[in-house]
Structure 1
Amino acid sequence: MTSPVLRPHAEQEYAGELAALAAADDRAKPPSWRLSPWAVVTYLLGGTLDDGTEISPKYVGPRRLIEVAVATLATDRALLLLGVPGTAKTWVSEHLAAAISGDSTLLVQGTAGTAEEQIRYGWNYARLIAEGPSDQALVESPILRAMRDGKVARLEELTRIPAEVQDSLITILSEKTLPIPELGTEVQARPGFTMVATANNRDKGVNELSSALRRRFNTVVLPLPDTAEAEVDIVRRRVGQLGAALSLPAEAADLAEIRRVVTVFRELRAGRTEDGRTAVKTPSGTLSTAEAISVLTGGLALAAHFGDGVLRAQDVAAGIHGAVVKDPVADSAIWTEYLETVVREREGWADFYRAGQEIAG
């Protein structure tokens, strides 16, 4: 029996759903795809199969965006998922790879230190010195392995990668070939190879994509949830999943507490209260859906280990304060003003006001 892991890959955690979809899927599949485009969209957005099997939604948002993303991957263009932090770009990327290739692990994490070898290939220098260039000395990148196997490669935070390293993707994406001049050979991509990249549109200008590289991608912008109810639903689902994965000995997060966290985040993001009557200042942080999930998961841990197991206002107040106050001077003033002008006057929020005041000092 294998030991459980903290964070299973999507194809492991949802293996039952993927198998049920494969069994029910009688539609045309692109070369090397495990599922048809219809089944991939169903896996991402959820639904009920003819045999009654329930497929849980992995992404809550406009259906058309996911259809466009999947259709892009069925062509010869790569996909760029763009959006502000916390809009599920990485989450969608992982599940697309899991559904299409059955393997979400062919991943390059982009950073300012990402080198060309991590995109193309590197060398086992001990063997290189001893034997010279050879297939055995070659260290394949995840992208090269995806090309060989006809699978989906994932590239996170594309705009964090230096421009000269980004451009090493152009031949791969346009010619579907990766030359290895040291061996006098090349790797030609097999059918099914494609790439899903993600980028944070708040990083625009960090390492701007060249026009040549941008043309190789079809860009899909993942938005923040349109409505409070949609965001509450996303947060509720993920907090429940994370609480179970972490075995937190606490009751499931109360829906009213989830709604309160989401309301605070949405109002501070929008710069106005939900009823539109009061303008509020916007702090420097993103206050994304992902951060709301983290706040509530942290609150559950506090309730479980230092409280009575029931999530309360004081359990989430510290997390919200930490998410809002990134700049200790400007954001502290904004948070204090929000507490005094909005929270203090809101019916049923007296406990949260007191908890917020205590944390703010």
Structure 2
Amino acid sequence: MTDVLRPHAEQEFAAELALLAEHDDRPRPPGWKLSPWAVTAYLLGGELPGGAVVSPKYVGPRRLVEVAVATLATDRALLLLGVPGTAKTWVSEHLAAAISGDSTLLVQGTAGTSEEAVRYGWNYARLLAEGPSAAALVESPLLRAMRRGAVARVEELTRMPGDVQDALITMLSEKTLPVPELNTEVQARPGFTVIATANDRDRGVNELSSALRRRFNTVVLPLPETVEDEVAIVARRVEQLGTALELPAAPAGLAEIRRVVTVFRELRSGHSADGRTTLKVPSGTLSTAEAISVVTGGLALAAHFGDGTLRPSDVAAGIVGAVVQDPSADAVAWQEYLETVVRTRPEWSDFYRACRELA
């Protein structure tokens, strides 16, 4: 898939999925392309018999992935919960790709998401001309997933209005969807399930009803535990994005990736890495996803306006833009961080000067 900017997971990693299927001799739940063991191996990576290597898609606690996969092998849906940037969407896409070979059955939750996006709608031209009929029915991604026995994805579930959320209840509990206009119903085939994501910071926007929450098993995805884990995640994802965008490799970029990750982790936690300095926490998320964006933007600067090597001046603007979301409060927090932490580190002198020049 060289003619698209971002292939779907099942396209980009088709070779790995095929390799896992070839070596997968364990029981598979009805409708699954791979066994739960192979799905977990696909997400976490590792070496297969014969020496073939599967690249890791997610870096985090193995048990969390095992619980998520085991949930999907039961009759319960899966809710991935976490702060922004904890790879909820990334994990849901790869789970769907590994389980049903199709990650595209997706409903994006927003305040304007209608019930038709969850259940079904109508082709009104045919409806007016012919009346209610199967040909006039416009199936939602969830309805198509029920017919195929596949995984459907619902992004940002808690951003959807409560009455739209509750349209999921019958699908998840009865595994069926009535279509009263046609005096019929659609029954889910084996393999149908739902993976939803929700943002910790959206709690209170549209809380899930207790009836709907009971249909989900919730798995909370944490931020990377260590600096090394987060640096590895950012480096791997930046390399993938750089290849897709045809940016030159940055051989000396690892030091700058570690610097970006360190800045974000210190400001997120509210104290310096050595624990000696208390810091104001900015209003922005400063997640791993933002770190990936900052480094990718820095690579573009280095490639098009520099010598191709990622330097402090290339990442400084991206960091300032990510940190200073509120021009008043965040600017104060950033200046304090620069003077009390960055300035005291001799090895960060180039980065300090680049940030001061931007100010």
Give the TM-score normalised by structure 1: 0.98
Task: Name the SS of the counterpart of 1:178 in structure 2.
Answer: strand
Q: Give the structure 2 partner of residue 310 of structure 1.
A: 309
| Pairs aligned (count) | 359
- Matching residue's letter, 1:117: E
Q: How does 1:39-78 map to 2 (within 5 A)?
A: 39-78=38-77
Q: How does 1:106-255 map to 2 (within 5 A)?
A: 106-252=105-251, 254-255=253-254
Task: Name the SS of the counterpart of 1:344 in structure 2.
Answer: helix
Structure 1 segments unaligned to the other structure (5+ residues): none
CA distance in 2, matches of 1:273, 1:347: 15
| Identity score, percent | 78
CA distance in 2, matches of 1:58, 1:129: 48
Task: Name the SS of the counterpart of 2:75 in structure 1.
Answer: coil
User: Does the CA contact (< 8 Å) of 1:120 and 1:143 recur in 2?
Assistant: yes
Deviation at 1:4, TM superposition (A): 1.5
Task: Name the SS of the counterpart of 1:52 in structure 2.
Answer: coil
Deviation at 1:254, TM superposition (A): 1.4
User: Does the CA contact (< 8 Å) of 1:236 and 1:253 recur in 2?
Assistant: no
- Matching residue's letter, 1:286: T
User: Does the CA contact (< 8 Å) of 2:118 and 2:140 recur in 1?
Assistant: yes
- Matching residue's letter, 1:232: V
- Matching residue's letter, 2:77: A
Q: Give the structure 2 partner of residue 296 of structure 1.
A: 295
1:298-319 alpha-carbon deviations (Å, 9 max, x no partner): 0000000111111000100000
Task: Name the SS of the counterpart of 1:144 in structure 2.
Answer: helix
CA distance in 1, matches of 2:159, 2:49: 44
Deviation at 1:270, TM superposition (A): 0.3
User: Does the CA contact (< 8 Å) of 2:239 and 2:249 recur in 1?
Assistant: no
- Matching residue's letter, 1:197: A
CA distance in 2, matches of 1:247, 1:133: 50
Q: Give the structure 2 partner of residue 6 of structure 1.
A: 5
CA distance in 2, matches of 1:250, 1:298: 13
Task: Name the SS of the counterpart of 2:357 in structure 1.
Answer: helix
CA distance in 1, matches of 2:356, 2:83: 30
User: Does the CA contact (< 8 Å) of 1:159 and 1:200 recur in 2?
Assistant: yes
CA distance in 2, matches of 1:258, 1:249: 16
Where do 4+ consecutive residues of structure 1 move more than 3 Å? none
CA distance in 2, matches of 1:201, 1:233: 24
Q: Give the structure 2 partner of residue 32 of structure 1.
A: 31
- Matching residue's letter, 1:165: V
Deviation at 1:3, TM superposition (A): 5.5
- Matching residue's letter, 2:352: Y
Q: Does 1:274 align with 2:301?
A: no
CA distance in 1, matches of 2:202, 2:191: 30
- Matching residue's letter, 2:214: R
CA distance in 2, matches of 1:252, 1:224: 26
Deviation at 1:347, TM superposition (A): 2.3
Task: Name the SS of the counterpart of 2:107 in structure 1.
Answer: strand
CA shift in 2, pair 1:29/1:292, >3 Å: same
1:130-155 alpha-carbon deviations (Å, 9 max, x no partner): 00000000000000000000000000
Deviation at 1:251, TM superposition (A): 2.4
- Matching residue's letter, 1:233: A
Deviation at 1:117, TM superposition (A): 0.1
For structure 1, which segment, 242-251 or 350-359, has the greater mean C-alpha deviation from structure 2 after superposition?
242-251
CA distance in 2, matches of 1:313, 1:256: 9
User: Does the CA contact (< 8 Å) of 1:240 and 1:253 recur in 2?
Assistant: no
CA distance in 2, matches of 1:158, 1:35: 27
User: Does the CA contact (< 8 Å) of 1:253 and 1:300 recur in 2?
Assistant: no
Deviation at 1:271, TM superposition (A): 0.4
CA shift in 2, pair 1:186/1:253, >3 Å: farther
CA distance in 1, matches of 2:95, 2:81: 15
User: Does the CA contact (< 8 Å) of 1:287 and 1:324 recur in 2?
Assistant: yes
Task: Name the SS of the counterpart of 1:182 in structure 2.
Answer: helix
Task: Name the SS of the counterpart of 1:192 in structure 2.
Answer: coil
- Matching residue's letter, 1:21: L
CA distance in 1, matches of 2:146, 2:200: 28
Task: Name the SS of the counterpart of 1:334 in structure 2.
Answer: helix
Deviation at 1:253, TM superposition (A): 5.8
CA distance in 2, matches of 1:258, 1:24: 36
Q: CA RMSD in A?
A: 0.8
Q: Give the structure 2 partner of residue 23 of structure 1.
A: 22
User: Does the CA contact (< 8 Å) of 1:239 and 1:253 recur in 2?
Assistant: no
Task: Name the SS of the counterpart of 1:293 in structure 2.
Answer: helix
1:77-99 alpha-carbon deviations (Å, 9 max, x no partner): 00000000000000000000000
